[in-house]
Amino acid sequence: MNSPWPQRGLYAITPDDTDTLRLVARVETVLVAGAQWLQYRNKAANPHLRREQALALLPICRRHGVPLIVNDDWRLAAQIGADGAHLGEDDGELAAARAAMGDRALIGASCYDRFDLARAAAATGASYIAFGAFFASPTKPNARRATPELLQQSAILRLPRVAIGGITPDNARSLVAAGADLLAVISGVFDAPDPAAAVRAYLSCFDEARSEEFPNE
């Protein structure tokens, strides 16, 4: 199905900030700067705060035309009318999420370092497949590690490929060159001294990759 959302760019993921007003302000900065997708992820929040924060982020995402994807909890995503959910191996069945959220929902699947998981997710109706961590992640230091070849290999699945884990503006180009459509980033954006400048730096990696592909444009 054709998606109304951009299929390439920066997929910003929120940090564990328990101050809702501050989180909203930080996200606003990042969306104004041009991030294309937002995932609400907060491992430090209880269910009540998660609902409050996801609800607070929804109107900002709407205003910027950015999809809001809720991490881990497709039921919360469905309850608040978010645009999608991101599911890892411990986050329930993708098929159940798809059945409950409908065809238009953006439902992403963590595939870590495994092509077989990506193939299964594609067959079950995932909207995108996510691989990583590609580099040492300050947010999730023990995350499994993947290699860029997996991005190349999974082109055959014809779904947007998301790369995550320790991605900086300096190391992102290798992932875009290997086929990453979206760069999923937490600390490189939200812990940067100037988050708006960091967003622009990530986006420039796509421009450069495109001008290498099409040098005369």
Ligand X SMILES: Cc1ncsc1CCOP(=O)(O)O
Ligand Y SMILES: Cc1ncc(COP(=O)(O)OP(=O)(O)O)c(N)n1
Partner whose footprint covers residue 186, from Mg ion, ligand X, ligand Y, none (CB < 5 to 8 Å by kind):
ligand X
Q: In the bound complex, what is the minimum distance in angstroms from residue 90's beta carbon to Mg ion?
A: 6
Residue written as token pair 């622009």: 200
Residues 6+ apart with CB under 8 A from 50: 40, 42, 73, 76
Tell me if 88 contacts ligand Y by CB under 6 A: yes
Residue with tokens 């929120």, as numbered in its chain: 14
Instruction: Choose between 34 and 88: whose C-beta lies nearer to Mg ion.
Output: 88
Using alpha carbons, list the distances in angstroms from residue 120 to 124, 127, 166: 6, 12, 26
Q: Per CB under 6 A, does 50 bind ligand Y? A: no
Residue type, 72: D
**Residue 137 annotated as binding?**
yes
In the region spanning residues 20 to 79, those forming contacts with ligand X, defined by CB under 6 A, are none
108 touching ligand X, by CB under 6 A:
no
Place of tokens 């054709």: 2
What are the residues binding Mg ion (CB under 5 A)?
72, 88, 91
Binding site partner of 187, from ligand Y, Mg ion, ligand X, none, Cβ cut-off 5-8 A by kind: ligand X
